[in-house]
Amino acid sequence: MRRALEVLALVAVLVAVWQALHIVGGDVALSSPADTAVRAGEMLASAGFWPHVAETFTALAYALAIAVLGGLAIGLLLGLHRLSGAVAEPILVSLYSLPKITLYPVILLIFGLGLSAKVAFGAIHGIVPVIIFTMGAVRAINPVYFRVSRVMRMTTADRIRSIVLPAALPEIVSGLRVGFSLTLLGVMIGEMFASQQGLGFLIMNAIGLHDVPTMMAVTLLLAVVAVAINAVLLMLDHRLHRRAA
Amino acid sequence: MTRIGWIRLGVVVGAVLLLEVLCRTGVIDPQTVIAPSAMAVALFDLLRSGEMNADIASTLTNVAIAFVAAVVGGFAIGVGLHAVPPLRRAADPLLATYYAIPFFVFYPVLIALFGMNDLPIIVIGFLFAVVAMVINTLNGLDRIPPVLLKTARLMHMGPLNTALRVKLPSAAPYLFTGVKLAVAYAFIGVIAAEFILSTSGLGYSIAYAYNNFDNARMYALMLFIIILVTAVNMAFYVWEQNQMQRRRRPS
């Protein structure tokens, strides 16, 4: 209850700041919270809006699947094999901090314009944090568990299923959360440059036409969905970490 | 260099060589990716001609301003939030979900607010970097061992002394992480804003070269950014390692 009140207070403060910025900047800069909400409602009711939503979330779903499955597999491998992990870690960290947007033209040249380029771009954003978190989680597992598994003559597959994954799960969920945010960012950037469909394209189009309410409305809807999904993952994250502690 | 360092170097050099061979033998079409050696030559020519100097200078200035503002501002906000627990609890969900919001969409809003200059780009870089610093400052302050604070109280240390001699050194590793992330995020924010929306800077030059099918220039600029960002990150990494080593040594 208290939690809900605090979140409500935060939302109220954010809306107040938004309204203040609106008063300072005027309609040219940003539309008021009320206008934006109305425009968002109109868009949700219009049939032309949903294909763009479908495009963005299809790209996001594929990119997430690649980032999560690929990241888990590579992260497990690097976590279990110490030498490769030690060799790969600084390389991964510098990949993580690279402005990957500069590589987007390469992705476009390889995959062509369209859905697959967005998926690939989203996936390269998301996969690196998933790898880093998974690797860190596997490395941090108490070595006693591995000794026990050796005594019990478990196979590698069994060891991964009944020791590595459960022990590393809380950290892996943290990685998923970061991975989700970055994958979404990648897909959005992909749509904002050289794209004809999706929410990112809608925003760029609205920017081009200087249609401030539409731009703000799409941004608002996107932010609400992103924050909602993130909040669910965060709750899961806290619960798992508490259980592990 | 350690054995692991040599293996790592081998992996990186091997990957570059593999790309070189694949490009030179025509497995990879030069319309798609040009050979690394060709990128290096193009970059050398581009740098010698001096035509990129203005863009390089403007991008680096923007990144530097965004980075410094983010580190100072993020540290101040972090300390402030830590001092007022109710504010902190209210801000936590915002901090945790902050990076799920794609900021670049605010660029037109920022142009309307600040005008058509470098300020909107700097603000995006700042917005991108500042929260990483806030989160790590909070992490660092949260993890100060309570026994150190008790000791400080026993020794009758004033608030300023406690902050400088106990809190700051004990939170330092987390602050380093924040600084490292802030520099990386400032680069990402500034270059992405230039790439998608601006009309100057390195990011814009890459987008411009792509739109004009100028692969040599595009890959030269990409190589430049990759080398630059990696060098900056490495410098921070080495600096951090040195500091950590000095702390471990008993004085």
> How close B86 comes to chain A (CA, Å)?
9
Higher pLDDT, B110 or A42: A42
Angle of helix B85-97 versus helix A2-25 axis, rounded to 10: 70
A66-80: burial string, b at 16+ Cβ within 10 Å, e else: bbbeebbebbbbbbb
Residues 6 or more apart whose CB falls under 8 angstroms from that of B87 comprise: B80, B81
Nearest CA in chain B to A219: B105
Distances (CA, A) of B17 to A38, B11, B22, B24, B184: 56, 10, 9, 10, 27
pLDDT at B77 over 90: yes
Alpha helices in chain B (DSSP H): 3-24, 36-49, 53-83, 85-97, 107-114, 119-142, 146-154, 159-162, 168-197, 201-211, 215-248
Distances (CA, A) of A93 to A98, A169, B86: 9, 21, 34
Mean pLDDT of B46-52: 85
pLDDT at A27 over 80: no
Which tokens is A240 given? 């798992």
The pLDDT-based confidence of A196 (bands split at 50, 70, 90) is confident
Does B13 touch chain A if contact means CB atoms closer than 8 Å? no
CATH number given to A36-244: 1.10.3720.10
What per-residue confidence (pLDDT) applies to A25?
A: 75
Nearest to A191 by CA among A180, A205, A181: A205
What is the rounded distance in angstroms from the CA atom of residue B194 to the CA atom of residue B181? 20
Mean pLDDT of B27-39: 82
What per-residue confidence (pLDDT) applies to B248?
A: 67
Q: What percent of chain B has pLDDT over 90?
A: 14
The pLDDT-based confidence of B250 (bands split at 50, 70, 90) is low
Nearest to A227 by CA among A2, A14, A5: A14
Total length of chain A: 245
pLDDT at B121 over 80: yes
Between chains, do A99 and B203 touch, taking CB under 8 Å as contact?
yes
Compare CB distances from B101 to A26, A218, A226 and report the shortest one's residue.
A226
What per-residue confidence (pLDDT) applies to B69?
A: 96
Residue contacts between A and B (CB atoms, under 8 Å): 154
What is the rounded distance in angstroms from the CA atom of residue B245 to the CA atom of residue B234? 16
Between chains, do B207 and A234 touch, taking CB under 8 Å as contact?
no
Contacts of B230 in chain A (CB under 8 A): 94, 98
Distances (CA, A) of B152 to B79, B162, B171: 19, 6, 15
Cα angle B120, B126, B128; round to 5: 105
Contact predicate B198/B121, CB 8 Å: yes
What is the rounded distance in angstroms from the CA atom of residue B108 to the CA atom of residue A212? 9
Distances (CA, A) of B85 to B80, B91, B142, B178: 9, 10, 12, 21
Q: What percent of chain B has pLDDT over 70?
A: 96
Nearest CA in chain A to B210: A105
Mean pLDDT of B172-196: 87
Compare CB distances from A10 to B4, B94, B218 and report the shortest one's residue.
B94
Count CA within 13 A, CB hemisphere, residue B140: 25
What per-residue confidence (pLDDT) applies to A13?
A: 86
Say what the pTM is.
Answer: 0.84
What per-residue confidence (pLDDT) applies to B251?
A: 46
What is the rounded distance in angstroms from the CA atom of residue B16 to the CA atom of residue A66? 24
Average pLDDT score over chain A: 86
What per-residue confidence (pLDDT) applies to A146?
A: 84
A34-72 per-position pLDDT tens digit? 888 899 999 888 888 899 999 999 999 999 999 999 999
Mean pLDDT of A13-26: 85
ipTM: 0.79
Contacts of B109 in chain A (CB under 8 A): 25, 29-30, 216
The pLDDT-based confidence of B67 (bands split at 50, 70, 90) is very high
Average pLDDT score over chain B: 85
Does A227 touch chain B if contact means CB atoms closer than 8 Å? yes
Q: Find tokens 């590698």 and name the residue.
A: A156
Domain chopping of chain B, boundaries = 51-214
What per-residue confidence (pLDDT) applies to A59?
A: 92
Nearest to B64 by CA among B156, B186, B159: B186
Q: Is B125 helix (H, G, I), strand (E, B) or coil?
A: helix
Region label for A112, one of left (φ > 0), alpha (ψ between -120 and 50) or beta (otherwise): left
Between chains, do A25 and B112 touch, taking CB under 8 Å as contact?
yes
Stretch 49-88 of chain B: residues touching chain A, C-beta under 8 Å: 86
Contacts of A25 in chain B (CB under 8 A): 109, 112-113
Does A5 touch chain B if contact means CB atoms closer than 8 Å? no
Does B234 touch chain A if contact means CB atoms closer than 8 Å? yes
Does B100 touch chain A if contact means CB atoms closer than 8 Å? yes
Which tokens is B47 given? 């740098």
Range ranked top by mean pLDDT from A23-27, A141-145, B127-131, B246-250: B127-131
Compare CB distances from A87 to B4, B102, B106 and report the shortest one's residue.
B4
pLDDT at B249 over 80: no
CATH homologous superfamily, domain B51-214:
MetI-like (1.10.3720.10)
Between chains, do B206 and A180 touch, taking CB under 8 Å as contact?
no
Contacts of B94 in chain A (CB under 8 A): 10, 14
Contacts of A101 in chain B (CB under 8 A): 188, 191-192, 195-196, 203
Residue to mutate among A35, A101, A128, with most B CBs inside 10 A, is A101
pLDDT at A1 over 70: no
Nearest to A222 by CA among A175, A193, A181, A194: A181
Contacts of A91 in chain B (CB under 8 A): 8, 11-12
Contact predicate B43/B223, CB 8 Å: yes
What per-residue confidence (pLDDT) applies to A207?
A: 81
